[in-house]
Amino acid sequence: MIKIKTILSIILVSFIISGCAKFITRLRVKPQLLYEDGLLISNSQTNPYRFKYENNQLRIDYALIIKNNVQEPKELDLTNAYYQANQEKSDLKCLFPKTNQTKKTLKFEEQALATCSVNITPSSLNALMLKDTDITLSIPLAHNIHNFTYRVFAEEFVQ
Amino acid sequence: MKKLIITILFGLSLTNNSRASGDAAASALVSMALVGTIYSINSVQYDEWLKSEMESWKYDETDLTSSLSRGCDANLELRLHRNRRMSWIVLVVHNEKKEPIILNTDNMDVTFPNGAVRKMKSNHAVSDYKIDPGWTIQGVFPISEKAELANFKSMEVRLPFIDTTGKSVCELKGVLNRNDKREVDYLDYNRLLTVEFSLFYGNNLLATNSLKATSDKQGLFGILMNIYAYKNSGFTVGYLRQDLKKDNELTVKTARNLSALSLSETNYLIGYAVNFLHGRQFSTTFGLGLLGYTLEDTHEQNIHDMQNKTGEYINANFNYIYYSSDSFPYRGDYMVGLGFLFRNIPKFHIGNAVFGGASLAPYLDLNIGF
């Protein structure tokens, strides 16, 4: 007869093993559905919970669905995208995964998916732990730079 | 390390200071484990949600069903998702006006190319919905029969906005298009169950050997769980119990010559199961597999003998779906029906009495499928 304490212990140990394996900084990104410069932009393809902490680096993956809503074709160039948290600023690698290019012309009513990723260094992580911080991903689309913001919750856990 | 310290502090805050440090540490570990687990589950769930779009409705440019549109100074995103049982439209509306807009949720509808119009019924009981400037709302709208979508190449979603007096002011529209160039995924248009629980009661109609001699007056009670892992196929685990009647003839035949022999049998089922849903009204399930059979011979609550045998079973089950819901928390198909269970157990002896044999038992059942 298996005792109730044994079962509870097994459940507890399972929780600890599965839980500890997944500790990373908790970031949150709010849903955004914007219209700027004739472009409709949605971040619904970004998993707000999905961040990888590997080799002392926090990796953020971001995805944008973009649609040209005006007759004039839009030249998109993601080359100069960057990320900023507190005073730190670094490059953000963005591209259109369908073509593996950073540039694309969007015709009227055409849609595209753009993905971005950034590896945040340990020094940035230390800065992030000081207080609730916004990480800003700045992505140039057509003529404007669009800022997408993550809120970092410092009460959560960082390795 | 910081993670560990913060977690332990969090755990300590949950415990009474006067408690032993062991309790505090345990509490910290539990909270640490729970937070991590919840986080990881959320992450996996969102990934699964992103992957659950209708394959044949994805656009080539994005590999997504996401469709963006604009009107009434509001932005609209539509997506078409599905799981094994149902499909649903996910709708996101962002208000870009400098004043609130009111979405008339009672009159939102979908128009199909053949002119058919369907009301969009929300999972949540909301009427007119005010969206403040700069705010974004999201809604989920089930499509009751996803097989119907196979007949259509597009659908237009219409969202009416009203003013505070209830007068219509504007309509926001979005279109979802099927992409004929893409392969149709099996789950896109087939409605399938994932898990099915069944509770049943029956009796042996035809039986041989001890199954006839001992069970003609006693009922057979059982529970079954079917898990469908690949398309509509899966496996069954089940438990059946039958208290057999006291039989003087059998008592004499057994070597112990007890004053009153009391027999009960237990069956453990494991096997293959396949389910067919016929629209929203009927469900049939067939299964076959192995049966672990235990016969207990008890007297004054002491087990005198126990025989374990391995047999086979075939199960057929016909159900009427009397209630089907896609709305949380009642989501599921609720069924009532009848079935037939055939069992074959190898012959064995207790004393001079022959046990085992074959039986066919009709039964009545209550089912819930998800």
Mean pLDDT of chain B: 82
* Contacting residues for B365 by C-beta, under 8 A, at least 6 apart: B198, B199, B200, B201, B317, B319, B335, B336, B337, B338, B339
The confidence score (pLDDT) of residue A52 equals: 66
pLDDT of B2 over the 60 cut: no
CB B145 within 8 A of CB B152: no
The confidence score (pLDDT) of residue B177 equals: 94
ipTM of the assembly?
0.79
The confidence score (pLDDT) of residue B28 equals: 64
Q: Name, of B10-14, B218-222, B294-298, B361-365, the range with top average pLDDT.
A: B361-365
Quick one: pLDDT band at residue B145, thresholds 50, 70, 90?
confident
**B314 token code pair:** 């075939």
Per-residue pLDDT tens digits for B189-204: 988 999 999 999 998 8
What is d(CA B176, CA B156) in angstroms, rounded to the nearest whole number? 6
Of A19, A33, A49, the CB nearest to B36: A19
What is d(CA B77, CA B167) in angstroms, rounded to the nearest whole number? 25
What is d(CA A139, CA A2) in angstroms, rounded to the nearest whole number? 58
pLDDT of B71 over the 60 cut: yes
pTM over 0.90: no
pLDDT of B126 over the 50 cut: yes
The confidence score (pLDDT) of residue A90 equals: 83
**Taking phi first (over 0 means left), then psi (-120 to 50 degrees means alpha), and beta for anything else, what does residue B255 get?**
alpha
The confidence score (pLDDT) of residue B7 equals: 44
Is B77 in contact with A159 (Cβ distance < 8 A)?
no
pLDDT of A38 over the 70 cut: yes
The confidence score (pLDDT) of residue A131 equals: 53
Mutation to test the B interface, candidates A32, A40, A64, most B Cβ within 10 Å: A40
Query: Within 10 Å of residue B340's Cβ, how many Cβ atoms?
Result: 15
pLDDT of B215 over the 60 cut: no
Chain B residues near residue A33 by CB distance under 8 angstroms: 68, 75-77, 92-94, 136
Q: What are B75's strand-pairing partners?
A: B70, B94
* pLDDT (average), residues A106-113: 94
**Taking phi first (over 0 means left), then psi (-120 to 50 degrees means alpha), and beta for anything else, what does residue B48 get?**
alpha
Distance of CA B86 to CAs A76, B158, B191, B367, Å? Answer: 38, 21, 6, 19
Give Cα B29 to chain centroid, integer Å: 33
Per-residue pLDDT tens digits for A126-135: 545 545 667 7
Per-residue pLDDT tens digits for B234-253: 999 999 988 766 555 555 55
